[in-house]
Structure 1
């Protein structure tokens, strides 16, 4: 791959015209793009080309986007953006629960989708990481430089967005972050206005950390505001 390119994006959509338009915009923005409309082939391609981002249609025939995402998450921590033509919130929540980082509802602007990809890759993933010691909250340790979180010494398998959310919250543990601020910090201006996206990722984080929502040892809900870190 050309060293000047920004990354490799796998576009998975069974509408070839739409996929072609998206790939064309990605190419002009400096990305390499590979297209497939088949779920099984998408999983195989994700293994072989190790994409930076996967743009994945939720409504694929056969092996649907949810199952494709689930399988990709067993071997890759690439960013995953779900495309959905469905208005049912349950479908979106299922997609996010299996490891998608974000979603875009059809119809959409290819230009805006590419902007969403660019915003994801501009996240401040290692800001000050070289001088930043591991952050500890009870049994939870967050190592920003290594992008690892461990609980009682055992690594916790987090998606990129889940780790980014945890890194932001632990950077200023006494600060209550509003959902809007978390959207702007993690997803950027291209992230849209769906603040419920934060709630879903917080729920996923709590589940993986074994954090009972009633006790909230690690992630505390601040009513009327958003979230902050707990003492652990």
Structure 2
């Protein structure tokens, strides 16, 4: 059963999400502050984390940074902060999605389903290990190594890299990437792709400013070159 950790200091939101998620068959754990959230994530190992930024003890961005040091769960930020800088900060820190309050429950549940799909999707490939000059991608094990050392990727970083690697040498369009990773309602959110590609380049490219493997086709999409 898919386990979801919901972190929010508003009791009515915790209750509403717990009821709606359980009604759809999810196992739900809740926390109302950052310290409790970090302990719950370590104890229960959720598949998806819903994280408010305005927590009473620790700012949600700090909680997210703490999680990303070891946790591979998809993180959906749920926040009343609507400023673009807050969204970019959350995505840069490792969030996989950003939902602003107030929100529609059905759309939110669609985003939960998309997060679960990203975490569990693993289509087959005849040769699951792809070797590039700077790094190696094991598609079956969902593992990336650089100079023999494992590289930690967030679920959405992995999802983007996987799509590009599986289409090696081919252009993967912005709309295709956004639809696959976040759903059809995200086809205009091209800044998501820029954020994640920048993060991937810093983790994988020897010279991120002059990428050799993760190539941008301006206005069109992206391409992986071994």
Shorter-normalised TM range: over 0.9
Equivalence for 1:90: 85
Of 116, 125, 128, which residue of structure 1 is paired with 2:124? 128
Equivalence for 1:148: 143
Distance 2:187 2:101 in 1: 14
Q: Mean Cα displacement is larger for which, 47-56 or 119-128?
A: 119-128
Equivalence for 1:170: 165
Equivalence for 2:215: 220
2:189 corresponds to 1:194: yes
Task: Report 1:1-232 matches (<5 A).
Answer: 6-123=1-118, 125-129=121-125, 131-189=126-184, 191=186, 193-231=188-226
Q: Which runs of 5+ in 1 are unaligned?
A: 1-5
Distance 1:59 1:118 in 2: 24
User: CA 1:52 to 1:10, structure 2 compared with 1: closer, same or farther past 3 Å?
Assistant: same
Quote how far apart the aligned CAs of 1:192 are.
6.3
| Partner-residue secondary structure (3-state), 2:57 | coil
| Partner-residue secondary structure (3-state), 2:107 | helix
Q: Mean Cα displacement is larger for which, 207-216 or 221-230?
A: 207-216
Distance 2:36 2:220 in 1: 43
Residues 143-198 of structure 1 deviation map (CA, whole Å, 9 limit, x = unaligned): 01010011122211111111111010011122222221101122233656422111
Equivalence for 1:3: none
Residues 18-45 of structure 1 deviation map (CA, whole Å, 9 limit, x = unaligned): 1211111101111011221111100000
Residues paired across the two proteins, number: 225
TM-score, normalisation: structure 1: 0.91
Quote how far apart the aligned CAs of 1:96 are.
1.3
TM-score, normalisation: structure 2: 0.93
Kept in 2, the 8 Å contact 1:116–1:191? The answer is no
User: CA 1:174 to 1:220, structure 2 compared with 1: closer, same or farther past 3 Å?
Assistant: same
Q: Which runs of 5+ in 2 are unaligned?
A: none
Residues 94-135 of structure 1 deviation map (CA, whole Å, 9 limit, x = unaligned): 111121111111111122212211122223731005x43311
Kept in 1, the 8 Å contact 2:214–2:222? The answer is yes
| Partner-residue secondary structure (3-state), 2:95 | coil
Distance 2:219 2:66 in 1: 37
Distance 2:197 2:169 in 1: 17
Kept in 2, the 8 Å contact 1:119–1:190? The answer is no
